[in-house]
Structure 1
Amino acid sequence: MALSTTNLADKLAETHGLAKADARKVIDAVFADITAAVAAGEEVSINNFGKFKLKETPERQGRNPSNGEAITIAAQRKLTFAPGKQTRDRMNGN
């Protein structure tokens, strides 16, 4: 089961005695701030969780899989996440 922002807001509200609407506003604001910072080229580091940052991928040559024709794949900005040590340890059962 995937954890949606609604489920996350429900858990936050229950754990901290908040109204669900207020918990949803907090979660939406946090993710909006992370997104804005990363889009501006900043690295976002959350202690004991991990880092979000942009990775620039240059334009490159590829092949159209249906006909084998050469194509140019445009440069892109991709969001990357690197888990922190505590997160990695928890994912690995440590």
Structure 2
Amino acid sequence: MALTKAHIVNNIQNRLCFSRKKSIELVETLLEIMKKSLENGENVLITGFGKFCVNEKRERRGRNPATGEPMTLAPRRVVTFKCSGKLRDKIDKKEQRKQTR
């Protein structure tokens, strides 16, 4: 199951005893700050979690998957995520525990 914005709001509401309205406002504000930074080409680093990076993709040759015809793909910007070492270690430990059961 995926973690949704609604799950995050519920967790903030329950853990911090904020009202639902305040929790929604907090999550929306955080996401807006992140979106604006990425939109401006800035990376977003969250220590202990990971880094969202904006990368430039050059114009390149591709293929139309429906017809197989060659085509040129326009240059664009993409967002990538690289998790922190701490998060990677936690994920690996959880996977190792699953495998030993």
> Considering the TM-score relative to the shorter chain, is it more than 0.5?
yes
In structure 1, C-alpha distance between the alignment counterparts of 2:70 and 2:36, rounded to whole Å: 35
Q: Does 1:26 align with 2:45?
A: no
Report the equivalent of 1:86: 86
The residue identity in structure 1 corresponding to 2:73 is I
SS of match in other structure, 2:38: helix
Report the equivalent of 2:47: 47
In structure 1, C-alpha distance between the alignment counterparts of 2:27 and 2:65, rounded to whole Å: 40
The residue identity in structure 2 corresponding to 1:58 is R
The residue identity in structure 2 corresponding to 1:76 is R
CA RMSD of aligned residues (A): 1.2
Post-superposition offset of 1:67: 2.9
Give unpaired runs (5+ residues) of structure 1.
none
In structure 2, C-alpha distance between the alignment counterparts of 1:6 and 1:67, rounded to whole Å: 40
Taking structure 1 as the reference length, the TM-score comes to 0.92
TM-superposition CA deviations, 1:30-72 (whole Å, max 9, x none)? 0110110111111111111111110111110112233332101
Higher fraction of helix: 2
Residues 3-82 of structure 1: matches in 2 within 5 Å?
Answer: 3-82=3-82
Count of residue pairs the alignment pairs up? 94
The residue identity in structure 2 corresponding to 1:57 is K
Taking structure 2 as the reference length, the TM-score comes to 0.86
Report the equivalent of 2:97: none
Post-superposition offset of 1:26: 0.5
Give unpaired runs (5+ residues) of structure 2.
95-101
